[in-house]
Amino acid sequence: MKIAILTIGDELLNGDLADTNTAAIASTLMDNSLPVHEAATVGDREEEIAAALLRLAKTHGVVIATGGLGPTDDDRTARAAARAFERPLSLNIKAHDQIRARFRAWGRDMHPRNEKQALLPGRSAVISNENGTAPGFHLKNNLVDLYFLPGVPGEMLAMLGDYVIPSLLERFPDPPLLCQRVMTVFGLAEPEVETRITRHGLPAGVELAFNVEVPIVHVKLRARGIHAQKLVDRSEMAVRQALDDHVVGVDGETLAACTARLLSAAGITLALAESCTGGLIAKLLTDQPGASAFLERSVVSYANSAKREVLQVSQEILDRHGAVSAECAEAMARGVYQAAHTDIGLAVTGIAGPDGGSDEKPVGTVYLAMISRWAAHTERFHFFGNRDQVRLRTACTALDWLRRQAMTRLSGEAQEN
Amino acid sequence: MKIAILTIGDELLNGDLADTNTAAIASTLMDNSLPVHEAATVGDREEEIAAALLRLAKTHGVVIATGGLGPTDDDRTARAAARAFERPLSLNIKAHDQIRARFRAWGRDMHPRNEKQALLPGRSAVISNENGTAPGFHLKNNLVDLYFLPGVPGEMLAMLGDYVIPSLLERFPDPPLLCQRVMTVFGLAEPEVETRITRHGLPAGVELAFNVEVPIVHVKLRARGIHAQKLVDRSEMAVRQALDDHVVGVDGETLAACTARLLSAAGITLALAESCTGGLIAKLLTDQPGASAFLERSVVSYANSAKREVLQVSQEILDRHGAVSAECAEAMARGVYQAAHTDIGLAVTGIAGPDGGSDEKPVGTVYLAMISRWAAHTERFHFFGNRDQVRLRTACTALDWLRRQAMTRLSGEAQEN
């Protein structure tokens, strides 16, 4: 059985939008031992969508199409499918009810244009969309399963997981055994990660791949056959030995999620003082539900007046050392720690660029300071990259400090028990 | 003349890597009025690369292929091209010299494996790679031009600009004139945007398309021919009339960038108090260089203690109305406004979910309050979606309030002058 992905939309062919859906679908399928054979992209023209569907359906057992299910005139996927497989569009009552229910839940009237989204090719099964107005549909043509999903990634992925994957696993109950694991690594560059893993060695038959999302390196381990699971488990152990505590998480746990989980588990409370990151550290931590268990406050002290008034940084420190200095970072951390009465106070100040650098303190100069019930530590960094990258590296380093502090507390408790 | 892009590599089909090359190539071609007609992705199997090349060469005048030109065994694009077009591989002296020169420049010996990269299909022109070891090649088959480039984006894009674009413009000296504009819209859903524009009307011959990045709608205007520029200019005016001040920016300006630009231009200073957004508003504003011109501070008051101590929200308000209430939002805004001595104090408090909702205040209930030298305003919202979406809608609404306030001040100044 061969699987093809078809992404649909002019925006993918005129450079307005990079296609992330293909990789996201492929990754989810891979997690279920379902490899993708081919991917294609066409624009919004009905006859070309229809031609691509026919071509892929001729050479594949499964086609997963995304995009072109919206309410507007340039959304033509349902019409193209109707034409390709000679299943004239008709109003699908179930789809119509779902769209109406979605609007009702939002407390709004259904826009007449959204009626169009309930026009589906004959004899299709509706794929419910819990997160938006565009229903998907599932069409069987001869022996080919075609799934049509909206292009909005959040909606598409939910429908893929809720409907398409179970449907595929029902059709192919015994996919070739394949086991994959993705490990999240922070604090080592990709070549160093590869060198350490290669030097340590992996079990034979395990594929190793890397995927870098600066400053994070994802290490992928993959094995096939009846021992796949065992091989990948052993490989994970080997990678953990090779990379030590640079391994942050497994199978999608982000640095922020891991940090939040460990802070909660350790019962540690936190107050932040952010200058150059401008709220990014708090934003990343509060992306996680339940962050209120540990985060008491964050002060984004962008101006010196805020540093003085909210964080009690003295004018003398600002005059003598400047706002980007170890002394200022330390005073900010101490200020927020004392005011908030938390277990940890953490502060960052630096020059994210593009302007504001000097010979002595070039763009990318960042100071981190952490004061806690247990210790105090201040460090100067020089991060590379543009403004976004400097801010992200700073935030990730701060999260990593918190993660390590929480791990130390947890292992201390474990020893005491 | 139709142009196709073919991206090659197992990593694109197993979810390890999202394909950004197609969008980057399409965007560069679009800048030269050369639209892309179709894109496809295949893995590393030689016969499938060959089949895809033959298929695309049959229906297109130009094929741009990337990937599979590396030194390792799984790089099979040159072999596939040789097979597809019956041009047996031979050692290309010019390519060989270039690879050797590249290693010399790096002060390293050429690895024997890299010899393979000089084996090109017969009668190909070498495309120099100034940034890596993999030479590209250009093959003409009947009337079809096929360009083969490495998959590393930096190398690929340089070769595209240096060789492929000039080569295409030589073949097609008068590409159809094409003008495109993207407008960023906030505060109206996609169907409503389309209804308003359609009701207002656009000049004939202008294509209209939409691209939604919730909660933002991108409106795309595109025209061809010698009047393309004029048509698009007139269309932009029409869209501005139809959508009024919901138009945030043009050609890539984001809501946050527009807000930051207008606050700076109006000389307005700002202090934020964020609860449910957890720093996201400050993060979005400080993504923009120069945010220190207007942002004095942001207080992420996640805990009630922070609301009381930093923002002077009274215990009575917290007891009587709760932390998610109009009264609390107002007190937070007033607290940060008075402490920071800025022109505006803006506060948000709400329930982002997934937990914490009640019948009276379900998940998605958010209060915004803004107090300024000019006015005070508090409003209750009910945003739908998951945690991320509620947070993003809240932050964008807050940015929009600031944007409108700055516009009002600027137009007031203009009238006074």
Q: What is the pLDDT of residues B131-142, one digit of tens each?
A: 888 899 999 999
Distance from CA of B295 to the nearest CA of A (A): 6
Confidence grade of residue B415 (pLDDT, cut at 50, 70, 90): low
Q: What is the pLDDT of residue A335?
A: 97
Q: Is the pLDDT of residue A417 over 60?
A: no
Which A residues 129-188 touch B at CB under 8 Å?
131, 152, 154
Between CA B13 and CA B68 the distance in angstroms is: 14
Nearest chain A residue to B287 by CA distance is A388
Q: Are strands B119-121 and A119-121 parallel, antiparallel or unpaired?
A: unpaired
Position A175 pLDDT exceeds 80: no
Residue linked to tokens 């409907």: A163
pLDDT, average across residues B298-312: 93
Give the residue-averaged pLDDT of B168-184. Answer: 85
The ipTM (two decimal places) reads: 0.81
What backbone torsions phi and psi does residue B62 show, to the nearest 5 degrees?
Answer: -140, 135
Measured between beta carbons, the chain B residues lying within 8 angstroms of A322 are none
| CA dist., res. B94 & res. B127, Å (int) | 10
| Nearest Cβ partner for A283 among B208, B280, B385 | B280
Give residues 39 to 68 of A whose Cβ lies within 8 Å of B.
Answer: 39-44, 48, 52
- Distance (Å) from the alpha carbon of A149 to chain B's nearest alpha carbon: 15
**Residue B187, by phi and psi: left (phi above 0), alpha (psi -120 to 50) or beta?**
left
Q: How far is B305 from chain A (nearest CA, A)?
A: 8
Confidence of residue B226 (pLDDT cuts 50, 70, 90): confident
Q: B115: which DSSP letter?
A: G
pLDDT above 80 for A125: yes
CATH tag for A178-250 (out of 3.40.1390.10, 3.40.50.720, 3.30.70.2860, 3.20.20.450):
3.30.70.2860
Residue B254 in 3-state DSSP?
coil
Q: Say which CATH superfamily domain B255-416 falls into.
A: CinA-like (3.90.950.20)
Token pair recorded at residue A298: 């964050």
Interface contact flag, A297 B297, Cβ < 8 Å: no
The residue of chain A with its CA nearest to that of B180 is A14
| Per-residue model confidence as pLDDT tens digits over A270-308 | 999 999 999 999 999 999 999 999 999 999 998 999 999
- DSSP readout, B30-62? HHTT----EEEEE-S-HHHHHHHHHHHHHH-SE
The mean pLDDT of A104-114, rounded to a whole number, is 82
Select the more confidently predicted residue: B178 or B369: B369
B74 touches A at CB < 8 Å: no
- Domain residues of chain B, as ranges? 3-171, 178-250, 255-416
Average pLDDT along chain B: 93
Q: pTM to 2 decimals? A: 0.82
pLDDT digits (tens, 9 = 90+) for A14-69: 888 889 999 999 999 988 888 899 999 999 999 999 999 999 999 999 999 999 99
What's the CA gap between A55 and A49, in Å, rounded? Answer: 10
CA distance A361 to A382: 9
Question: Is residue A408 less than 8 Å (CB to CB) from chain B?
Answer: no
Mean pLDDT, residues B205-211: 87
The token pair at A414 is 């474990």
Contact A13 B180 (CB under 8 A): no
- List, in order, residues 6 or more apart from B65 with CB less than 8 Å away: B5, B6, B7, B8, B53, B77, B81, B146, B147, B148, B149
**Of the candidate ranges A84-93, A143-152, B9-18, the one whose mean pLDDT is the lowest:** B9-18
pLDDT at B100 over 70: yes
Q: Closest residue of B to A296, CA-based?
A: B303
Q: B3-171: which CATH topology?
A: Molybdenum Cofactor Biosythetic Enzyme; Chain A (3.40.980)
CB contact under 8 A, B210 and A74: yes
Compute, in degrees rounded to 10, the torsion defined by CA atoms A120, A122, A125, A127: -10
The answer to whether B60 and B3 are in contact (CB under 8 A) is yes
- DSSP string covering B312-363, please? ---HHHHHHH-SSSHHHHHHHHHHHHHHHT-SEEEEEEE--SSS---SSS-T
Show Cβ contacts of residue B31 under 8 Å, excluding neighbours closer than 6 positions: none
Give the Å distances, CA to CA, from A324 to A79, A304, A348, A375, B283.
59, 11, 9, 22, 19
